[in-house]
Each structure stands twice: as structure tokens, then as C-alpha cells.
Amino acid sequence: MDPNPHVAVVGATGAVGIEMIKTLEKRNFPARQLTLLASARSVGRKLTYRGNEISIKELTKDAFAGIDIALFSAGGSISKEFGPIAAKAGCVVVDNSSAFRMDETVPLVIPEINAEDVKRHKGIIANPNCTTAITLMALYPLHRAFHVKRIFASSYQAVSGTGAKAIEELRRQVGQVVSGQAVTKEVYPHQIAFNVLPHVDSFLPSGYTKEEMKMENEGRKIMHHPTFRASVTCVRVPVYRAHSVAVSAEFENPITVETARKVLAAAPGLDVVDSPEKAEYPLPLYAAERDNCQVGRIRLDCAMDNGLAFWISGDQLLKGAALNAVQIAEELLK
């Protein structure tokens, strides 16, 4: 890999694409050139990178000639169509969709956990689901120390996880409710303002949603832990940015709050925010736009042996998407 690669962002105008561009700049990623690709309707729009305006080009089958790394965030169908084309052109694809995550030939990577897996790529590397990534930032260090058996979790997921239109929908609905107007909805099946929806992604025959099963399926692959089990309820909440997850985890080995806190304090990419007596605990409002996830409310679980309950918040546009993708690209250069 060229130490100064030519990088492309696919889906550059989307919420995650814009964060990818910002993250490349913020982390001084040594790209010699940046190409921005999107659908035909965005062609000619300009985005700023390192003080220069870059015009958006159309994503076509010929767009990947000479590109070394392509960060994809344009949805699963685009990834399925163009990911293999980019890989065939000699480009390494870091894909943010669910298209390749469970493909056995594709590494699924959180660099703080399984950076080594990057080396096994055959042209495509998958970025995990945002809720899974944020949860595992706290769960994996605990797993290494105490060996997790299973978790029960509920997520509190921001609307930006759905995309820019959902952010606009929440803004619009808040205004409509406050001014006494009728609430209009397009993105979600119900009003999201001043409400919570226990419905993220589509339902499976089991009654779980696809999003809820990602925690178990992706968690097993990322942690190299084939017997890991996760019962999750994913909930959309009227928060603009940053997901939170309440987790109760059961471990094989005895655990104390003190030993858990030590492990979490030493974990990369994670800040312990846990002084409940001062009303200090992770909040999505304060986790937003931060690279690190935050963990707190750490306590022994009173319903399980060797159980620990904790609460984690993290910016799903960053650690849950753009930051993680750029960190994978950094691993490719090592």
C-alpha cells in the first residue's frame, strides 16, 4: 500500500460521508488525493477538504481507476454493486453498510479490538453496525479480562443513525408540536418527536429486528467468540446524534466494580464517566462529536451471578461509522 494513498469517499454527501471527510482531515490522514463520489444528482456540488473545494464526481463502474482506498457509505445495494468492482480495480474497500459484514471472506473490524484481522482482507473490509461498535468498546475489554457469556441490552438510538432525512424529520416535528401544528411523518412509521419507537430496522420471524441480531452475530465475529449470546431491544429515541446502550453482561469469571473500572479505564477509545453522586454519567448530548465512547453507571448486576451492568454512549457517526472506517484505513498503511 502506498504510504500516501489516493482515497475515495463513496456517498460523500451523506451524513456519514461528510464525517469521513472531516475525520480524514482531523486525523491528518496522509492522502495524496481525495476523490468524492456520489449519485448523479450530487455531481458538481463542492465539499471542503483541507481548505480546498472538491467537486463531487458521479459513482460509475470506471470511477476507481488509480484509487488505493475507498471508504463506502452509500447503502447496502450500492456497496454490493460497486464494492467488488472497486476491489477488482485494485482498490481496498472499507464498507460501512451491512452488505459484507457476515461474509466469511471479509474481515469485520474494530481496530481497538481485532486490528489483526485487517491483514486477511481480499479487497473488502467491513465496518460494524454502529450500536454493536459502541457496545463492544466497553464489552470487549471486560470480555478479555472476565470472559463474557451473554448480555441483555437495550439501545437508545439517535435519529442520525437513519440519515439526514431523519434528523430533518425530528427537527420539523419538534417545531410542529411546539407550535400546535399537525405532525407530518415520512421517515418513521410513527411520530419520533417526544416519543420512542421500539423498532429499528425490519422485523425477523423470531420477533427480533435485524438490528437487534447484529449485536450477537457481529459481536461473535469481531470478538472471535462463537458462543457469545445477546438479547437486545433496539429503540429509536428523539436524540439528534450519539447512541446509548444499557447493558447487563454475565461473565464466566468473578468480577468486581473495582476490577471492571480498572479494565475500562485502561481501554483505548473509551472514557470512564462514572460519578453518579455528582450526576456524572455518559450522556449522548456530551458524547456527540467526540471520538471516544463513554462508559458509566458501572455496578454489579443484582439479577445475575458474575454480572455487571453499565451504560455506554458514543457518537454513531464517528466510532459507529466514519472514525472506525478511517482507523481501518490507518491500519492498512501500517
CATH number at residue 297: 3.30.360.10
In a domain, 1, yes or no: no
Statement to judge: residues 309 and 188 lie in one domain? yes
Distance CA 109, CA 150 (A): 21
Q: Is 67 found in the same domain as 50?
A: yes
Answer yes or no: do 172 and 302 share one domain: yes
Q: Is residue 303 part of a domain?
A: yes
Whether 302 is a known active-site residue: answer: no
Q: Tell me the pTM.
A: 0.96
**156 and 290 co-located in one domain:** yes
Going by C-beta distance under 8 Å and a sequence separation of 6 or more, which residues neighbour residue 77? 99
**Type of residue numbered 252:** E
> Do residue 150 and residue 107 come from a single domain?
no
Annotated catalytic, 130? yes
- A 10 A CB-CB count for 182 gives 6
Same domain, 157 and 61: no
Judgement on whether residues 55 and 139 belong to the same structural domain of the protein: no
- pLDDT confidence of residue 101: 98
Residues 68 and 184 in one domain: no
Residue 31 lies in a domain: yes
Tell the residue number behind the cell numbers 436524540, with chain if given.
239
Report yes or no: 121 and 331 within 8 Å, Cβ to Cβ.
no
Q: Are residues 161 and 225 in the same domain?
A: yes
CA dist., res. 308 & res. 261, Å (int) = 11
> What is the span of the domain harbouring residue 84?
6-127+321-333
Q: What is the pLDDT of residue 291?
A: 97
Rounded Cα–Cα distance for residues 326 and 18 (Å): 12
- For 230, the grid coordinates are 445477546
pLDDT computed for residue 164 by the predictor: 84
**What is the DSSP annotation of 128-184?**
PPHHHHHHHHHHHHHHHHH-EEEEEEEEEE-GGGT-HHHHHHHHHHHHHHHTTPPP-
Note whether residue 54 is domain-resident.
Answer: yes
pLDDT in tens, the chain (334 residues): 899 999 999 999 998 999 999 999 999 999 999 999 999 999 999 999 999 999 999 999 999 999 999 999 999 999 999 999 999 999 999 999 999 999 999 999 999 999 999 999 999 999 999 999 999 999 999 999 999 999 999 999 999 999 889 999 999 999 999 999 999 999 999 999 999 999 999 999 999 999 999 999 999 999 999 999 999 999 999 999 999 999 999 999 999 999 999 999 999 999 999 999 999 999 999 999 999 999 999 999 999 999 999 999 999 999 999 999 999 999 999 9
**42-54 CB burial, b ≥16 within 10 A, e <16:** beeeebebeeeeb
| 308 within some domain | yes
Cβ-proximal residues to 332 (8 Å cutoff; 6+ apart), any chain: 1, 5, 69, 92, 118, 125
The 3-state secondary structure of 252-280 reads: CCCCCHHHHHHHHHCCCCEEECCEHHHCE
Q: Where are the alpha helices (DSSP H) in 57-157?
A: 76-88, 111-114, 130-146
Chain centre to alpha carbon of residue 148: 21
Same domain (yes/no): 198, 280: yes
Residue whose C-alpha cell is 459502541: 134
Give the full edge-to-edge strand order of the sheet including 229-236. Answer: 229-236, 148-157, 243-251, 307-314, 293-300, 270-272
Please check whether residue 52 lies inside any domain of the structure. Answer: yes
Same domain, 164 and 26: no
Lookup: cell for 11: 456517498
- Total domains in the fold of the chain: 2
Q: Quick check: is 263 in a domain? A: yes
Q: Which of 6, 121, 143, 243 is catalytic?
A: 243
Residue type, 223: M
Q: Which domain CATH number covers 92?
A: 3.40.50.720
Residue 120 lies in a domain: yes
pLDDT number for residue 317: 94
Q: What pLDDT shows up at residue 163?
A: 86
Query: Residue 188 — left, alpha, or beta (φ > 0 → left; ψ -120 to 50 → alpha)?
Result: beta
Catalytic residue chosen out of the listed positions 6, 91, 121, 130: 130
Domain match, 61 and 136 both: no
